[in-house]
């Protein structure tokens, strides 16, 4: 049908980095919903938001792989398409994972990472500062200044360090850029010499399990990163959720007249 949504967007779903968990979920979605004519386009998170912004400003239709919390929901009027088959896994949490032995080697850092916990709104605030033009470091600094009570809970009882180094691994997803910079700055203020290492998702998990990195705060579980988690879980420590209530799916502008992934079958 040449008037279908598919025709309007060239049967394209704008994806992100090929290794992202949401891309595996999107591949499953295409299969399970029988979207045979559709193409899931690989790219990057940054390219996805650029495309979204372009289409949105022109009030054109577009379908992207999207996740919440994310600044795009406050910058644009968007909606998740309903996912009756649940191929995007439903609500989940973001966990903190650390290398084995960190507790003995850097007890203060371990305590802070273990106590690190915040709300979607907090993460959104940091992302909004970055979208507004601040560097990730400035945004983290600002959020920390504005939330002394929250930060005090994280550092409560943590031993101060003397310039020992801590390496945090992250993928360049907007959520993880924000969270990793915040916890990095808090560790820094507690005497650690903190470095942030940006990698792809597979190497991020591998780095924690082989000890080349100390910690990561962007493990989306139990669905998004299940394959990576299962591959490496014996060789790392899961400190549990640092944020609850995330969501993945296909995201479109509100002005598009579709509500469900099933509408893409037409």
Q: Which residues bind ligand PBE (CB under 6 A)?
A: 16, 20-22, 67, 173, 175, 201, 218, 220, 224-225, 248
Q: Which is nearer to ligand PBE, 5 or 221 (CB)?
A: 221
Q: Which is nearer to ligand PBE, 22 or 178 (CB)?
A: 22
Question: How near is the Cβ of 90 to ligand PBE at its closest, in Å?
Answer: 13
Question: Rounded to an integer, what distance in angstroms lies between the CA atom of residue 228 and that of residue 208?
Answer: 11
Query: CB of 214 within 8 A of CB of 186?
Result: no
Question: How near is the Cβ of 26 to ligand PBE at its closest, in Å?
Answer: 9
The DSSP string of the chain is -TTSHHHHTTTEEE---TTSHHHHHHHHHHHHTT-TT-EEE---HHHHHHHHHHHHHTT----EEEEES-THHHHS-EEEPB-TT-TT--SEEEEEEEETTHHHH-HHHHHHHHH----HHHHHHHHHHHHTT--HHHHHHHHHHH-HHHHHHHHTTPPPPSS-EEEEEE-S-HHHHHHHHHHHHHHHHTT-EEEEEE--HHHHHHHHHHTSS-EEEEEEETTTTHHHHHHHGGGEEEEEEEEEEEEEEEEEETTSS--BGGGGG-
Q: Which is nearer to ligand PBE, 154 or 220 (CB)?
A: 220
Q: Which is nearer to ligand PBE, 63 or 201 (CB)?
A: 201
Question: How near is the Cβ of 216 to ligand PBE at its closest, in Å?
Answer: 11
Say which residue the tokens 């390496």 belong to. Answer: 167
Question: How near is the Cβ of 164 to ligand PBE at its closest, in Å?
Answer: 28
Question: How near is the Cβ of 39 to ligand PBE at its closest, in Å?
Answer: 18
Question: How near is the Cβ of 238 to ligand PBE at its closest, in Å?
Answer: 16
Q: Which is nearer to ligand PBE, 20 or 112 (CB)?
A: 20
Q: Which is nearer to ligand PBE, 127 or 264 (CB)?
A: 127
Question: Rounded to an integer, what distance in angstroms lies between the CA atom of residue 51 and that of residue 29?
Answer: 21
Question: How near is the Cβ of 91 to ligand PBE at its closest, in Å?
Answer: 13
Q: Which is nearer to ligand PBE, 95 or 192 (CB)?
A: 95
């Amino acid at each position: 049908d040449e008037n279908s949504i598919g025709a309007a967007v060239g049967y394209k779903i704008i994806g992100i980095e090929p290794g992202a968990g949401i891309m595996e979920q999107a591949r499953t979605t295409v299969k399970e919903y029988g979207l045979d004519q559709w193409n899931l386009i690989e790219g990057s998170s940054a390219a996805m938001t650029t495309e979204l912004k372009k289409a949105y400003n022109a009030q054109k239709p577009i379908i992207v792989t999207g996740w919440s919390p994310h600044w795009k929901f406050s910058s644009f009027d968007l909606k998740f398409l309903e996912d009756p088959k649940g191929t995007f896994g439903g609500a989940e949490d973001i966990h903190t994972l650390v290398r084995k032995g960190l507790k003995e080697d850097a007890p203060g850092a371990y305590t802070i990472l273990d106590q690190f916990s915040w709300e979607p709104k907090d993460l959104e605030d940091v992302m909004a500062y970055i979208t507004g033009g601040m560097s990730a470091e400035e945004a983290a600094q600002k959020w920390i200044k504005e939330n002394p009570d929250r930060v005090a809970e994280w550092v409560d009882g943590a031993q101060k360090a003397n310039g020992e180094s801590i390496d945090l691994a992250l993928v360049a997803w907007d959520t993880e850029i924000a969270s990793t910079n915040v916890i990095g700055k808090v560790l820094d203020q507690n005497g650690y010499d903190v470095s942030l290492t940006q990698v792809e998702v597979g190497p991020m998990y591998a780095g924690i399990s082989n000890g080349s990195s100390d910690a990561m705060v962007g493990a989306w579980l139990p669905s998004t990163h299940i394959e990576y988690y299962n591959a490496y879980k014996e060789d790392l420590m899961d400190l549990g959720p640092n944020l609850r209530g995330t969501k993945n799916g296909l995201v479109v502008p509100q002005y598009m007249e579709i509500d469900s992934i099933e509408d893409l079958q037409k």
